[in-house]
Chain A
Amino acid sequence: MSEFLLEMRNVNKRFPGVIALQDVNFALKKGEVHVLLGENGAGKSTLMKILSGAYPMDSGEIFIKGKRVEINKPQDAQELGISIIHQEFNLIPHLSIAQNIFLGREPVEGRFIKTIAWDKMYRKAAEILGRFDINVSPRTPVRELGVAMQQMVEIAKALSVNAEIVVMDEPTAALTTAETEKLFQVIRTLKAQGVSIIYISHRLEELSKIGDVATVLRDGRNVGTVDLKKTDTDTLVRMMVGRSLTDMFPKESVPRGKEALRVENLYGKGVNGVSFVAYEGEVLGFAGIVGCGRTELARAIFGADPASGGRVYVDGREVSISSPRQAIKAGIAYLTEDRGREGLVLGLSVRENIGLPVLDKVCRAGIVNFGRKSALAANFVKNLGIKTPSLSTLARSLSGGNQQKVVLAKWLATKAKVLIFDEPTRGIDVGAKWEIYQLINELAKQGTSVIMISSDLREILGMSDRILVMREGCITGEFDRSEATQEKILYCAAGGKTGVH
């Protein structure tokens, strides 16, 4: 018998115009936490989709416990004990935890007329939750749970089918530090119970805490499998991007110019009287905990949600903004934190998406000048290095990092004076992050006023010229780049009041 629980050998997969996987080998031991690393588009998701039966492979073999298996559909994978926990949860909000866990496999009782054995179902659900020390009633509707608990329900669901292999795709993307720690405990428990875990993440710093080994994919090839205890972050990054990143944050400061945006006493949903100024050539970071009103502030400035009071000035002139249309006209652009829901029309092509906010400029009498629109999009595709087979490719089929670049392209096309980035690097890989930081530098050099909202404190500290901290809809701190530290920011974000000038 093989020493490996799962082996994937010489897996090849080709999509129209792209080789997604080339002779990839992957081997997983029992009770191991195996990290799958790689940039967006490196082939991680494709490999896992093949394993879970979502895609067929072009060629290659899969062995489980040394025996060759065929995985042609998701049910095949499930029967072999493979479960995937996707980034987007597949839970039904108004059903209870237990109902979600046993959806489609409800225990039944009765000889002639089968009815759902509710008691048994709740008992079994409680048992599974108990395995992770979770003290929530299995009767609680899922909609009442936070993101972290919902994820636990997904994990419980996977385990209820006796999964031996659990694939977790970016499980910590939406979790707080404390919740992440809780998740790690659960993973360790699973590991102790002999469950193998394939763990996909972009957060390099958390890997050594949870992973045993890591397999790195680059451009659809396996670059190598390494022991995480003996490998430092630099080596991993070099393997992922094919070169070394000397500095995570390539910050270049430029002298700040004149006032670009002035907000005075702005009120709105979740915004309680905010005043601040942003300057040309400056990167202004907004820190704070989730729900402190940063996104709400950005949406109010941009006219996405109505502001209930206050004034906004662009270039020293007061502007009245009650819709995104007016904000764009005034020279403000807003990159939303949720790409799929608010940033892109996924069913439209790259060309259409980039052209959307500036369609007026490539139209005459309402008729679109197709050539000009294509040229505009082609320029951004080239200059931002958007990896897409063609301009007609649907946004849906691009990887996360490339989707984010399409969003960037569409807002750059508006030539805005003030660019508000909301979580610009969430869910994208180090290489793409670095490119976005470069772009922020470049924008600042050209005199754009960049406002960056981020929950990643290192990013805020690394890229901002000045930092504002928000709490409960108010600004509670202001720091210059030179004086800002994590501790000071956290203190203001948590309720202390210092540094307000």
Chain B
Amino acid sequence: MQRGVRLVFTNHELAGTGPAGAEVSKPRFSQASVMQYLQQIGILAGFIVLMLAFAILSPYFLTLDNLLAIALQSSINAVVALGMTFVIATGGIDLSVGSIVALIGVVMADLMQSGVGIPVSVLAGTVIGVGCGTMNGLLITKAKLPPFIVTLGMMSFIRGLALIYTSGQPIYGVPAGFRFLGSGYIGAVPVPVIIAALAAALAYFLLRRTRFGEYTLAIGGNEEATRLSGVNVGFYKTLVYSFCGLMCTLGTIILVARLNAAEPIAGFNYELDAIAATVMGGTSLTGGQANILGTMVGALIMGALRNGLNLLNVQAFYQQLAIGAVIILAVLVDRFRK
């Protein structure tokens, strides 16, 4: 047995271009890791079961039109949940997303009505979304307050700003060009679905291919070890909340464009839907891991459930009941499977 150690690396080896590196690094996706990934989204099986059940109960459910409608209805939650997934992956939480959506909405709609144009309005919305997220992040990292408390406070604070801005009144009417983002189609596919898919692709790329994504998981896994590894933990944690704010902006654009209106009370319970989609998708609340595809499936389950129950004429009160039960069941099944 060779016990000696060799420490002299050539620069080639350290740069990973040498022959020694090439032989081990080849399988980017080994069979094992693909299996692992499929296992992680065991929620997919639940999703398929749910779809089959509704398909049997309602003949209309599995039509292309209805499936696209489900995707459309899920798109806002999906986009917001992508941001939430990053936040939860660091071991944090963001309860303020719904209020951020409301504030962005009323400011964007108001600006568009005052005639400053769509690009400027969207830019303003982005600044507000990212700004609110960054504020959350700074309070958490600089003032060292727990994310739950910070975002709970901000939830109320930002909602207050939205209500004050419009004196509690809704704002009706946005330009036709903007409405396209919510109600337009490209081919047969609704634009919001395309936006959500692109956002998911971006999130996946960020998580799996960038320094930002890697640090996100490292911070959630062991913040102290990550800090001692020379990572500017405060900066990256704040960035995660900023990203969540950015996703809120995207969600708001879809919302306002679809409704052709903005309300200061919009986005009610968005944080709960986003957390539900994230956790159902297999991202653990304790942090350290994240599952983008799972989050998307989680959002689709919520959408399919609401859609299917509507088709079956289930009363709204009972819908609440069913959704709550499915969330708990989904996580329970996932736990047992492991």
Chain B residues whose CB sits within 8 angstroms of the CB of A334 once the complex forms: 228
B14 in contact (CB, < 8 A): yes
- A345 x B225 contact (CB < 8 A): yes
CA distance A289 to B229 in the complex (A): 27
A384 in contact (CB, < 8 A): yes
- Residues 256-282 of B, flagged 1 when their CB comes within 8 A of A and 0 if not, give 000000000000000000000000000
CA distance A16 to B3 in the complex (A): 25
- A362 x B209 contact (CB < 8 A): no
- B7 x A443 contact (CB < 8 A): yes
Among A336, A366, A374, contact of B16 (Cβ-Cβ < 8 Å): A374
Question: Which residues from 186 to 243 on chain A have a C-beta closer than 8 Å to any C-beta of chain B?
Answer: 242-243
Contact segment of A49-57, A133-141, A321-329, A491-499: A321-329
A342 in contact (CB, < 8 A): yes
Q: Which chain B residue has the least Cβ–Cβ distance from A431?
A: B3
Contact segment of A267-275, A277-285, A351-359, A470-478: A351-359
Q: With A345-B221, A366-B211 in contact, is A304–B228 under 8 Å at CB? A: yes
- B5 x A341 contact (CB < 8 A): no
CA distance A16 to B35 in the complex (A): 13
B64 in contact (CB, < 8 A): no
CA distance A302 to B228 in the complex (A): 9
- B13 x A446 contact (CB < 8 A): no
CA distance A345 to B30 in the complex (A): 22
B143 in contact (CB, < 8 A): no
- A356 x B226 contact (CB < 8 A): yes
- Residues 198-220 of B, flagged 1 when their CB comes within 8 A of A and 0 if not, give 00000000000111101101100
Among B2, B16, B228, B230, contact of A373 (Cβ-Cβ < 8 Å): B16
Chain A residues whose CB sits within 8 angstroms of the CB of B24 once the complex forms: 374-375, 378, 381-382, 391
Among A341, A343, A367, A375, contact of B21 (Cβ-Cβ < 8 Å): A375
A372 in contact (CB, < 8 A): yes
CA distance A143 to B333 in the complex (A): 37
A346 in contact (CB, < 8 A): yes
A21 to chain B, nearest CB (A): 20
- B211 x A378 contact (CB < 8 A): no
Q: With A341-B224, A382-B24, A390-B30 in contact, is A435–B7 under 8 Å at CB? A: no
A246 in contact (CB, < 8 A): no
Chain A residues whose CB sits within 8 angstroms of the CB of B209 once the complex forms: 367-368, 370
Chain A residues whose CB sits within 8 angstroms of the CB of B218 once the complex forms: 345, 348, 352, 356
For B3, B15, B228, the residue with the greatest tally of chain A CB atoms inside 10 Å of its CB is: B228
Q: Which chain A residue has the least Cβ–Cβ distance from B228?
A: A324
A144 in contact (CB, < 8 A): no
B6 in contact (CB, < 8 A): yes
- Residues 116-130 of A, flagged 1 when their CB comes within 8 A of B and 0 if not, give 000000000000000
Q: With A345-B226, A378-B20, A382-B20 in contact, is A438–B3 under 8 Å at CB? A: yes
CA distance A252 to B245 in the complex (A): 57
Among A304, A345, A383, contact of B288 (Cβ-Cβ < 8 Å): A345
- Residues 214-247 of B, flagged 1 when their CB comes within 8 A of A and 0 if not, give 1101100110111111111000000000000000
CA distance A371 to B5 in the complex (A): 24
B156 in contact (CB, < 8 A): no
In this complex, how many residues of chain B approach chain A with their Cβ under 8 Å: the count is 46
B167 in contact (CB, < 8 A): no
Chain B residues whose CB sits within 8 angstroms of the CB of A370 once the complex forms: 28, 209
Give the number of A-B contacts (CB < 8 Å). Answer: 158
- A376 x B228 contact (CB < 8 A): no
Q: Which chain A residue has the least Cβ–Cβ distance from B223?
A: A345
Dominant secondary structure at the A interface = helix
Q: Which chain B residue has the least Cβ–Cβ distance from A302?
A: B228
Chain A residues whose CB sits within 8 angstroms of the CB of B23 once the complex forms: 378
- A371 x B7 contact (CB < 8 A): no
Chain B residues whose CB sits within 8 angstroms of the CB of A382 once the complex forms: 20, 24
Chain A residues whose CB sits within 8 angstroms of the CB of B18 once the complex forms: 375, 379
- A392 x B33 contact (CB < 8 A): yes
Q: Which chain B residue has the least Cβ–Cβ distance from A415?
A: B14
- B225 x A343 contact (CB < 8 A): yes
Q: Which chain A residue has the least Cβ–Cβ distance from B25?
A: A374
- B227 x A324 contact (CB < 8 A): yes
- A325 x B232 contact (CB < 8 A): yes
CA distance A495 to B314 in the complex (A): 80
- B5 x A378 contact (CB < 8 A): no
CA distance A498 to B229 in the complex (A): 38
B313 in contact (CB, < 8 A): no
Q: Which chain A residue has the least Cβ–Cβ distance from B217?
A: A348
Q: With A346-B221, A348-B218, A348-B221 in contact, is A368–B227 under 8 Å at CB? A: no
Chain A residues whose CB sits within 8 angstroms of the CB of B225 once the complex forms: 341-345
Chain B residues whose CB sits within 8 angstroms of the CB of A412 once the complex forms: 7
CA distance A16 to B31 in the complex (A): 13
B87 to chain A, nearest CB (A): 17
For B2, B15, B28, the residue with the greatest tally of chain A CB atoms inside 10 Å of its CB is: B15
B17 in contact (CB, < 8 A): yes
CA distance A366 to B209 in the complex (A): 9
- B30 x A356 contact (CB < 8 A): no
- B5 x A372 contact (CB < 8 A): no
CA distance A246 to B251 in the complex (A): 68
Among A345, A381, A431, contact of B222 (Cβ-Cβ < 8 Å): A345
Chain A residues whose CB sits within 8 angstroms of the CB of B33 once the complex forms: 392
Question: Which residues from 64 to 105 on chain A have a C-beta closer than 8 Å to any C-beta of chain B?
Answer: none
Q: With A334-B228, A336-B228, A362-B16 in contact, is A439–B5 under 8 Å at CB? A: yes
- A384 x B5 contact (CB < 8 A): yes
Q: With A392-B30, A410-B229 in contact, is A379–B13 under 8 Å at CB? A: yes
B317 in contact (CB, < 8 A): no
Q: Which 3 A-B pairs have the closest CB atoms?
A: A375-B21, A375-B16, A378-B24
Q: Can you list 10 A-B contacts (CB < 8 A)?
A: A328-B230, A345-B288, A347-B288, A366-B210, A367-B210, A372-B16, A375-B18, A376-B21, A438-B3, A446-B8
Further pairs besides A366-B210, A375-B24: 13, Cβ < 8 Å = A345-B217, A347-B289, A366-B212, A367-B209, A368-B210, A375-B21, A375-B25, A376-B16, A379-B13, A379-B20, A382-B24, A384-B5, A391-B24
